[in-house]
Structure 1
């Protein structure tokens, strides 16, 4: 039996009840691990330190954990974590709710300066969205641009379409859902009633109803027993009547697992808020716990340990055909969505044109309603008046299909098309609304086009991995090499060893030229000031763009720890790469231009002392003497992953980075925000390495963003 890696809707309903007891806890700090695990460190005044984990990757979970099981804090807090800290530090935990019966949790935090909502999506690809009190998205781990919903920074968060909540469904609605099904009872409970497979089977067992019973053959008594089983489950959840269990398979008596519990205890496979008869039938071992939160902590801790002990699945040939088929299926669905957007937008425009083509008729209908409302006529009276007019053959009345007083709308039918109108507006305003809606739909289409390009790139990456695997089939095992790192195929390794370091210049912009000279640049005025005052030495070269808003760029002749003689000659090739670096990380890129002018001077030509009567801004400097100009220097940046001697992200001019990284991606000025572009690059890197966990650990989107120019970007080959 495969272990559970995602919490169910029933799990989340129970989880919300127990997490509610921590309301009032204060947030100390927030952390982000990789691109899918958020940790909130809090203080509960009665129980002390509280650690909350929210994971939305291959494992999808949300629960508290024991402090001793908390992962070590990342070395550098990424931008998402810093945003959370700025919004949540000192905030009170005001509560958590499950959205309908979906796998979505909404955590609410209150502070004097406002409300912050963290919405955790534990389905599909998973996501964490941070919004303000009005649900405007501040930031999110993944941007979502689908036909049905959009989740992007700056927009209002859109929940998925609501589905039936089986914990609150009435008996009449339950009967309708069951009657509308054309399959058996268990599948109907799993899909129509949204219980999922496990709890659908459990409810059938508790109700004493055959799982495979066809809906057409189900009796009134069958419906009653199933509904009563649902009511009992819902009552236990509302009242917090939990008896949590961790389930595990039986282990071998001689597995040698001494000191880890009974020798017969095998791996964990499930964790539930209640004992399940279905698991008893499968002879799973049940381990009771004091609370569901404690059970979740123990379960996922053991699951992680077991995953570490498993044989790496990349030692076997991946199912490339299944991956390729999956991506092709997604592309087909996305193409259908794009076609749907086009049709919807066109329909909205055609409806707007219909209003203008039948201006007199529509104006007559709207004027009639407005006059009646001005005379305090009720909506029911207005509807009756239109019905009477239709019977008398009045054209305007015949066009009215429905009047909805609760919404203040009237539905008309013109040339076979039904159009909803706001009764208090005129023809022009209603037509403009339809044109605006058409434009909004077309914007969704643009998002879908970007998404389909991502999927096509993912498909190409899988096909490249397949070709590489097949080309290397039969080659010596990675352990049979001669020990020379440079002979390794890092992309194909099932486990890439991590060797990290944080050099002194890591907080600046930096790269090493093709001739191995260090180039550093300031990220802001403070760092520009620091570079000139503290790190500029004899023999160094200084570059700057003619355009305002560029970094002070220094080509170091020697390391600051070494004595500087001033006799080292920096090659022209390194100066040219530094010039490209200077122009790429300046306002030239941000403005969407592809080239700019750069000048270079010796270090002794640079001074922080202005000419008499002049003033230097912070980060500025005075240059005396002749300058060497590099006109029309093209922008150009590549981001890569270096595996030797250190495992890290690097970035800078392509001519320098390509020789130092195992794999690179070139970017150019474009329409994607810096964060979105970084996520696209990250996904490309994950597809290129067999060891995807290695990419998650050392090349998160935030680390990639560290080497990207300010402003919009796109992958150059797109």
Structure 2
């Protein structure tokens, strides 16, 4: 059984109650690990230090953590963490709420200078959005631009479409949702009522209802038992009647005498004991609070995954992975067909309204007229029932009147259609057409998802074929290649890569090493341009600059500052050409979306900070005396890569220079995506390439990647 990696809606409903006890705690500091884990360090006056973890990657969770279990603070706080610190330092934790019954938490923090809301999306790709008190987005880990909703800095945060909340649903609405289904009871609870698979099965078990019972065979007694089970669950969640359990799967082959083996493998954590988990033979450990159970669960889950066997020592289970992707593709195909059918049904309903315009208009006019006369919804329902008894067509078409929703359900040519009473025929039809379009958008999303799954399937098959090809080599061939293999170690497949950090003196500048191993440094702003010319320019160096305004001072170093300078060193043409490409790529040429620009090069002794008589040099500017060597129409080009030897770090610069040093690199070109958005895309791609994802998180955060990217918009060059 696969362990749980994402919290359910029921988990979050329980979580909100316990986190509320920490209201009034003060925020000390905020941290960001990689691009998916936020840590808030707080002080609660009754409990002392409090650590809140919000993770939205492959693992999606939100809970407090024992101080001794928090990860070490990153060495360099990224921009997102600095923004959080500026907004939250000294702020009071004012509370947390779950949005509807969705997997979304909204944390509220108050400070004298304003309110900050942290909205944590624990579904899909996951996201953390930081907004002000009016829900204007300050920043977010992920930028969302969909037809249905947008989450971008500067815009108002948009929650996803509201779904049915089963914890507050009325009995009448519950019956309606169940009657609307065309499947069995457990799937209806899971999808129509949004409980998900596990809790849908649990509710059936608690209610004593057969899970596979078809909805058409479920009578009023079945509905009564299910609704009572839901009410009891809702009451327990509202009142905090928790009895948390951490469920473990025992290894049947483990040695009973081995204390470590007897611990079992964690597979789930719940706020209540679940009969479903006990029926599966899982052992449940009891906890005082759900928060402590969550802390222990995810801590033990991480330890278990770290202790998994080295994947390089055994053949991966490619067949299971391939079967899983094939199964997902079948499910996605079914979903696409379902969306197509639903959209078509909605369009047909809209067309029926126009086909029976007079009938529908009579019904809606009757309801609006009765409401204008202050008639109750019960009276309206009785009026239609009387009309139906007298054989009036419009009254016979009405099958339900729902005052709580302000709707009338009609049956036309065998189709049941919900009408909003306050709207006319055209508005109701437009609403159905709009809903059909929304369903079509879901279909487009599913089509994109199935393409991604197909790519994953192809990748799994490719890796299986490569593994089998490698495995077929003879022992003699393997031995003869030992020395060669050591020279080209496959870092991407290493399960654990040791971190070897080295922050060079030039790291605060833009920099790279040429293919010939010469250092190139560029200024990030006028102050650094000034510093490079005054402090680091030495005899033998070359200085390069673009003809376009707004470029860095680029210095191709003949020697390191710690070495004796020399004008006798001849710099290779290849290094000068790479430095020229660097100068044009990190200038306004790239920012303007152009693909080439002119660059000139001069010797260090031609550069002076002393202007000609009567002239003035701005900060970062310099005077050039003598002839210049021009590199016309120098093409822009930049790549970002990850280096593993001799140090583990991100590097960037011209592709020809980066490719020689990086174990993997990604090329960029001018494009429409903001620098921060592109950095996040690069980070995700690097994580996919390395077996050791934690290595990428430690050394190549999106902020660190952004440090090596050209200014302005970019896009990944697809080869």
Check whether TM > 0.5. Answer: yes
Name the residue aligned to 1:47. Answer: 47
> What secondary structure sits across from 1:42 in the alignment?
strand
> What secondary structure sits across from 1:658 in the alignment?
helix
- Could you say if the C-alpha distance between residues 152 and 470 of structure 1 is closer, same or farther in structure 2, counting changes exceeding 3 Å? farther
Q: Kindly state the Cα deviation for residue 292 of structure 1 after the two structures are TM-superposed.
A: 1.2
Q: Kindly state the Cα deviation for residue 24 of structure 1 after the two structures are TM-superposed.
A: 2.3
- Single out whichever of 162-171 and 500-509 deviates more from structure 2: 500-509
Distance in 1 of aligned mates of 2:163 and 2:504: 52
User: What residue ranges of structure 1 are gaps of 5+ in the alignment?
Assistant: 344-376, 382-390, 392-401, 421-433
Contact 1:334 1:452 in 2 (8 A): no
Contact 1:540 1:603 in 2 (8 A): yes
- Could you say if the C-alpha distance between residues 156 and 506 of structure 1 is closer, same or farther in structure 2, counting changes exceeding 3 Å? same
Contact 1:12 1:103 in 2 (8 A): yes
> What secondary structure sits across from 2:660 in the alignment?
coil
Name the residue aligned to 1:296. Answer: 294
Distance in 2 of aligned mates of 1:418 and 1:575: 67
Q: Kindly state the Cα deviation for residue 493 of structure 1 after the two structures are TM-superposed.
A: 3.9
Q: Tell me the TM-score normalised to structure 1 length.
A: 0.80
Contact 1:327 1:458 in 2 (8 A): no
Contact 2:35 2:680 in 1 (8 A): no
Q: Tell me the TM-score normalised to structure 2 length.
A: 0.79
Contact 1:458 1:687 in 2 (8 A): no
Name the residue aligned to 2:274. Answer: 276
Distance in 1 of aligned mates of 2:25 and 2:421: 45
Name the residue aligned to 1:116. Answer: 116
Q: How does 1:344-383 map to 2 (within 5 A)?
A: 380=372
- Single out whichever of 217-226 and 444-453 deviates more from structure 2: 444-453
Q: Kindly state the Cα deviation for residue 633 of structure 1 after the two structures are TM-superposed.
A: 1.4
Name the residue aligned to 2:383. Answer: none
Distance in 2 of aligned mates of 1:444 and 1:280: 37
Q: How far does the alpha carbon of each residue in 1:441-460 deviate from its partner, in whole angstroms, 9 at most, with x for none?
A: 99999999999998887777
> What secondary structure sits across from 1:211 in the alignment?
coil
Q: How far does the alpha carbon of each residue in 1:110-131 deviate from its partner, in whole angstroms, 9 at most, with x for none?
A: 3344332222121222222223
Q: Kindly state the Cα deviation for residue 81 of structure 1 after the two structures are TM-superposed.
A: 2.1
Distance in 1 of aligned mates of 2:335 and 2:142: 18
Distance in 2 of aligned mates of 1:551 and 1:482: 43
Contact 1:542 1:602 in 2 (8 A): yes
Name the residue aligned to 1:79. Answer: 79
Distance in 2 of aligned mates of 1:164 and 1:217: 23
Question: Does the alignment pair 1:680 with 2:681?
Answer: yes
Q: How does 1:483-522 map to 2 (within 5 A)?
A: 485-522=486-523
Name the residue aligned to 1:576. Answer: 577
Distance in 1 of aligned mates of 2:519 and 2:255: 58
> What secondary structure sits across from 2:661 in the alignment?
coil
Name the residue aligned to 1:374. Answer: none
Q: How far does the alpha carbon of each residue in 1:420-474 deviate from its partner, in whole angstroms, 9 at most, with x for none?
A: 8xxxxxxxxxxxxx9xx9x999999999999999888777766764554454343
Q: Kindly state the Cα deviation for residue 159 of structure 1 after the two structures are TM-superposed.
A: 2.1
- Could you say if the C-alpha distance between residues 323 and 562 of structure 1 is closer, same or farther in structure 2, counting changes exceeding 3 Å? farther
> What secondary structure sits across from 2:540 in the alignment?
coil
Q: How far does the alpha carbon of each residue in 1:532-570 deviate from its partner, in whole angstroms, 9 at most, with x for none?
A: 233223322222212221112111222222222333222
Q: How far does the alpha carbon of each residue in 1:224-255 deviate from its partner, in whole angstroms, 9 at most, with x for none?
A: 22222221211111111222222223467745
Contact 2:538 2:565 in 1 (8 A): yes
Question: Does the alignment pair 1:316 with 2:321?
Answer: no
Contact 2:150 2:157 in 1 (8 A): yes
Name the residue aligned to 2:712. Answer: 711
- Could you say if the C-alpha distance between residues 111 and 676 of structure 1 is closer, same or farther in structure 2, counting changes exceeding 3 Å? same
Name the residue aligned to 2:632. Answer: 631
Contact 1:117 1:130 in 2 (8 A): yes
- Could you say if the C-alpha distance between residues 240 and 452 of structure 1 is closer, same or farther in structure 2, counting changes exceeding 3 Å? closer
- Single out whichever of 705-714 and 529-538 deviates more from structure 2: 529-538
Q: Kindly state the Cα deviation for residue 149 of structure 1 after the two structures are TM-superposed.
A: 3.2
Name the residue aligned to 1:587. Answer: 588
Distance in 2 of aligned mates of 1:205 and 1:573: 73
Distance in 1 of aligned mates of 2:500 and 2:528: 28
- Could you say if the C-alpha distance between residues 554 and 447 of structure 1 is closer, same or farther in structure 2, counting changes exceeding 3 Å? farther
Name the residue aligned to 1:238. Answer: 238
Q: Kindly state the Cα deviation for residue 299 of structure 1 after the two structures are TM-superposed.
A: 1.2
Distance in 1 of aligned mates of 2:324 and 2:2: 20
> What secondary structure sits across from 1:310 in the alignment?
coil
Name the residue aligned to 2:207. Answer: 207
Name the residue aligned to 2:540. Answer: 539
Distance in 1 of aligned mates of 2:294 and 2:569: 61
Contact 1:485 1:644 in 2 (8 A): no
Q: How far does the alpha carbon of each residue in 1:498-543 deviate from its partner, in whole angstroms, 9 at most, with x for none?
A: 4333222222211100110011112222322332233223322222
- Single out whichever of 159-168 and 240-249 deviates more from structure 2: 240-249
Distance in 1 of aligned mates of 2:426 and 2:197: 44
Contact 2:601 2:630 in 1 (8 A): yes
Aligned length: 649
Q: How far does the alpha carbon of each residue in 1:588-634 deviate from its partner, in whole angstroms, 9 at most, with x for none?
A: 10001111122222223333344444433332233333332222211
Q: How far does the alpha carbon of each residue in 1:70-91 deviate from its partner, in whole angstroms, 9 at most, with x for none?
A: 1011122223223322332333
Distance in 2 of aligned mates of 1:310 and 1:72: 22
Contact 2:322 2:457 in 1 (8 A): no
Contact 2:24 2:93 in 1 (8 A): yes
Distance in 1 of aligned mates of 2:327 and 2:147: 19
Q: Kindly state the Cα deviation for residue 692 of structure 1 after the two structures are TM-superposed.
A: 4.2
Distance in 2 of aligned mates of 1:338 and 1:179: 20
- Could you say if the C-alpha distance between residues 205 and 444 of structure 1 is closer, same or farther in structure 2, counting changes exceeding 3 Å? closer
- Could you say if the C-alpha distance between residues 485 and 704 of structure 1 is closer, same or farther in structure 2, counting changes exceeding 3 Å? farther
Q: Kindly state the Cα deviation for residue 679 of structure 1 after the two structures are TM-superposed.
A: 3.0
> What secondary structure sits across from 1:554 in the alignment?
strand
Distance in 2 of aligned mates of 1:490 and 1:72: 24
Q: CA RMSD in A?
A: 4.2
- Could you say if the C-alpha distance between residues 85 and 624 of structure 1 is closer, same or farther in structure 2, counting changes exceeding 3 Å? farther
Name the residue aligned to 1:598. Answer: 599
Contact 1:146 1:448 in 2 (8 A): no
Name the residue aligned to 2:29. Answer: 29
> What secondary structure sits across from 1:502 in the alignment?
coil
Distance in 2 of aligned mates of 1:448 and 1:673: 26
Distance in 1 of aligned mates of 2:50 and 2:265: 27
